[in-house]
Amino acid sequence: MDTPIHPRWLRATHWGNTLAVAMLTASGWRIYNASPLFAFTFPRAVTLGDWLGGALLWHFAAMWLLAANGSMYLALNLATGRLRRRFFPLDPGHVWRDLLRALRGQPTHDDAAGYNAVQRAAYLFVIADIVLIVLSGLVLWKSVQFPLLRELMGGYESARRVHFAGMAALTAFVGIHLVMAALVPRTVLAMIRGH
């Protein structure tokens, strides 16, 4: 049998992170609705947690899932050298070229075993974005226990905006990721079966 494109640990942590992010987003939207930052709210049908307390419980449960599963994902990527092999080097010129091709409907994805420059940049961005979401979430959850982090983010209200912006960027990434997976369905099969 062929060597899998995605090892079992990667597939398991990918789907675990997917579940955690979906739960965090839907419960986060319900939490946001209780005290909106902007002049809109999210439809109740796409939120998780029937009331604010319920949404917070879902959010904290998903937070621990993401913390454990995401840490395992990062640790295994670093320990196996996969992070270095799959995501570096990253050349801005290649990112720009691959982005223009993708916008013309010709994404560069000839080899399912590798990532094009846009994918590498996007995956590195989403890892950094999730770290920012976690740090701002710590300020929102335990503001008194993390005063330095709170001040680095410009205070509690600023941390709320950072958290919201990070969530919006993550949601945009997921939307684009789903569109690209639909355009190249063999990548989804590889993330399910490994080949």
43-99 tens-digit pLDDT: 999 999 989 999 999 999 999 999 999 999 999 999 999 889 888 888 899 889 888
- Pick the closest to residue 137 from 1, 4, 10, 24 (CA basis): 24
118-141 tens-digit pLDDT: 888 998 999 999 999 999 999 999
Contact 20, 70 (CB under 8 A): yes
Domains of the chain, earliest start first: 8-193 (1.20.950.20)
Position 110 confidence tier, pLDDT thresholds 50, 70, 90: low
Residue 1 has pLDDT above 60, yes or no: no
Contacts of 179 (CB under 8 A, 6+ apart): none
Residue 148 one-letter amino acid? L
3-46 tens-digit pLDDT: 667 888 988 998 999 999 999 999 999 999 999 999 999 999 99
